[in-house]
Amino acid sequence: MLLTPDQDQIRDAVRDFAQQELWPNAPQWDQDHSFPREAHRGLAALGAYGIFVPEEYDGAGLGYMELALVLEEIAAGDGGTSTAISVTNCPYNAILLRYGNAEQKKKWLAPAARGEILGAFCLTEPHVGSDASALRTTAVRDGGDYVLNGSKQFITSGQNGHAAIVIAVTDKDAGKGGMSAFVVPTHNLGNAGWQVARLEDKLGQHSTDTAQISFVDCRVPAENRIGEEGEGYRIALSGLEGGRIGIAAQSVGMARSALDVAIAYAKERQAFGSAIFEHQAVSFRLADCATRLEAARQLIWHAASLKDAGRPCLKEAAMAKLFASETAEAVCTAAIQTLGGYGYVSDFPVARIYRDVRVCQIYEGTSDIQKLIITRSL
Ligand SMILES: Cc1cc2nc3c(=O)[nH]c(=O)nc-3n(C[C@H](O)[C@H](O)[C@H](O)COP(=O)(O)OP(=O)(O)OC[C@H]3O[C@@H](n4cnc5c(N)ncnc54)[C@H](O)[C@@H]3O)c2cc1C
């Protein structure tokens, strides 16, 4: 699949920024577990917070193809940063764009697209992730408000974010049809009912926070309900379809950087009288990695082009995420192997990238769940 000149230009602009501002700083952010606010501001200025949001709502007015290009480049610079931006675009923006009313779009979507607020998505709970039909967080109507109580687990940007799409139970006897979606300001916008119960100590992606959120009598005006009561489950799943295209692109971006490091190293490192790249066991391994990454990219672009054409792409997005995330882990393992002992220590970035990329097989639906989705279409 060929990119248009505009798409080439967008990719190059984000690549330049990511290589100058993210890549050199990523090891420090990893070590300090620090959130790179300045870099986020720069990415927001490039339009990365609102890629497919129409210009009417202050977005870049592009599509999922550009989302994939941009997220690959950001992830090639720093995995954690790509996750925070991925979640803001999709599911946060995607849900508001599709299901929000005009007021909600003006109040909650446009500021995100402008890069003024970081979005989050609260579906997973401590007792349940893959089976999202078994949520327990409740939203009870009280006059002009809903009152939320319960706990959400593994929430990207739960600490640093400003607003979240929250899925909660409004009718506990109605199963999947008893859930509703809300846009909820976080503690950063003064909501005392949004409490960060704990920050997770993760294997990787230290430049983005992952938090457990407690809703304690968290009051949300009824005007913050997205769609009708009972539509929450459908709304949540719709947001994940495009999100998977983004995660797949992140996987390729991270793995591409690990592969680039491995290729450069292999051309320098001498063993048995030549660069190790001259040993075919090494160069063939790298050739396999490059081929598999390109195949993953083509699956992603195919799913993105279907999405942009308004065609169904549930299966294709699942295939892209499954293949790209599994391939990315394999590529990072191969990169570590290529560097030998140096692959296992922090002198080179491949060990960090391996830690960062591993979660792509887990969040927004594990590899098993992607296989379930694909199986249903067979
Ligand atoms: C860093 C990070 C960030 C995250 N960010 C967010 C976020 O922003 N918002 C959010 O809502 N969630 C988020 N998550 C949660 C993530 O989406 C869940 O962890 C994921 O969906 C899996 O759910 P679980 O952890 O409860 O695992 P479980 O659902 O308990 O699954 C455990 C294992 O069982 C397997 N399994 C379960 N059911 C089946 C089945 N039917 N068939 C075959 N295998 C099955 C799974 O594949 C997995 O291997 C994040 C997670 C992490 C680690």
Choose the catalytic residue: 125, 229, 316, 364.
364
Residues of the chain with CATH 2.40.110.10: 120-232
Query: Which residues' Cβ are closer than 6 Å to ligand 1?
Result: 87, 120-124, 128-130, 154-156, 202, 205, 210, 359, 362-366, 368-369, 372
Q: Hey, what are 94's tokens?
A: 């995607």
Give the model's pLDDT for residue 130: 95
CATH no., domain 234-376: 1.20.140.10
- Output the CA 240–ligand 1 centroid distance in Å: 13
Please check whether residue 105 is in contact with residue 96, taking contact to mean a CB–CB distance below 8 angstroms.
yes
CATH no., domain 120-232: 2.40.110.10
For residue 205, the ligand 1 atom closest to its alpha carbon is 1
Q: Is the pTM of this model over 0.85?
A: yes
Give the model's pLDDT for residue 239: 83
CATH number for 5-118 (one of 1.20.1530.20, 1.10.600.10, 1.10.760.10, 1.10.540.10): it is 1.10.540.10
Q: Which of 362, 364, 376 to mutate to test the pocket of ligand 1 (most atoms within 8 A of CB)?
A: 362
Residues of the chain with CATH 1.20.140.10: 234-376
From residue 161, alpha-carbon distances to 108, 119, 310, 328, 358 in Å are: 13, 6, 30, 27, 23
Is 364 labeled as catalytic in the residue annotation? yes
Q: Where would I find the H helices in 18-56?
A: 26-32, 37-45
Asked if pLDDT for residue 1 goes beyond 90, the answer is: no
* pLDDT per position as a tens digit, 16-43: 999 999 999 999 999 999 999 999 999 9
